[in-house]
Each structure stands twice: as C-alpha cells, then as structure tokens.
C-alpha cells in the first residue's frame, strides 16, 4: 500500500513539473509517463485527479495550442490534425476556434507576405508551388488560399 502511494506521488510530481512548463493534453501526459515506465492504471488515476482539481485541462491546452500555431502561421487543417494526434476531439477544436474568432484569411496573408512579400507568382507553375505550400505544408483551406490570391 505504501509502495503504491509513493508511486502515485511520483507520477503526480512528474505531471506537475510537466504542466508547470506548458499545458499538456491527457494523451501527452499519459505517453510521457508510459515512456518512463509507469503503469497505465496509475497514470490514469493521477491524470483524472489532476483534471478534477483543474490542474490539467483539455480546453486550456487546446486554446493555447491553437493560438500558438496560428501565430506560427499554420492553418485550420494542419492545427486540427495535430490536435487530433494529441487526443483532442474535433468538436473541442472547432468550439475553441469559434470562440477565438480567428481570421484565417488574415493569418494566411501574414504568412504569405512573410514568405513571398507582395510579389505575384510569375508563372502558373509558381502559383501552383505556392498553392501547394500553403495547402499541404501550412494547412489552409482552398477557399482561404483563393481569397488571398484574389487580394494580391
């Protein structure tokens, strides 16, 4: 019994150290603790307790992650995919994006200007290359990309 309590305290302390640096999703915490050799049922118990205490929050994690990725020039497709990999539900992502009132076209204009300045593509091939970069690498939607191309 004493051994289990020590183990749970150790897991709790690790979680608090991780959460003091930045927000983490439940999946991230679980993964990091499993990598350190802790048992899944003990991890789940501690993470549930931290969530109940308000020390771990999927919503806070999602809000911070979304704002950080938008600031770095990523679009909704990419951010949604990354959050899905971190165990965040698509509905929570859409709810947070709706609350934050993110202007995706404006965010896309900023990344476009940073990379290409105000220069128009010189050829159809160059336009396709830019389109692929914004769609595949940055994760913006075709409608958002077209809106920016219409503005330049």
The CATH number for 94's domain is 1.10.10
> pLDDT per residue over 34-91, tens digit each?
999 999 999 999 999 999 999 999 999 999 999 999 999 999 999 999 999 999 999 9
Mean pLDDT of 25-35: 96
Domain membership of residue 111 as a residue range: 104-151
For the chain, the domain total comes to 3
pLDDT of the residue at 126 = 92
Give the distance from CA 45 to its chain's centroid. 25
Residues 7 and 45 in one domain: yes
Residues 52 and 69 in one domain: no
* CA–CA separation, 24 and 148 (whole Å): 33
Torsion on CA atoms 61, 62, 65, 68, rounded to nearest 10:
-110
Q: Full-prediction pTM beyond 0.85? A: yes
């Amino acid at each position: 019994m004493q051994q289990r309590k020590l183990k749970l305290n150790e897991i709790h302390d690790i979680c608090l150290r991780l959460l003091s640096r930045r927000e983490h999703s439940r999946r991230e915490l679980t993964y990091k603790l499993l990598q350190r050799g802790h048992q899944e049922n003990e991890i789940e118990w501690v993470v549930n307790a931290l969530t109940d205490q308000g020390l771990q929050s999927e919503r806070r994690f999602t809000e911070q992650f979304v704002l950080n990725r938008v600031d770095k020039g990523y679009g909704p497709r990419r951010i949604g995919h990354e959050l899905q990999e971190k165990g965040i539900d698509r509905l929570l992502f859409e709810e947070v994006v709706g609350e934050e009132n993110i202007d995706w076209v404006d965010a896309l204009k900023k990344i476009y200007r940073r990379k290409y300045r105000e220069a128009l593509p010189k050829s159809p091939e160059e336009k396709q290359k830019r389109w692929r970069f914004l769609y595949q690498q940055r994760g913006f939607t075709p409608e958002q990309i077209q809106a920016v191309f219409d503005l330049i």
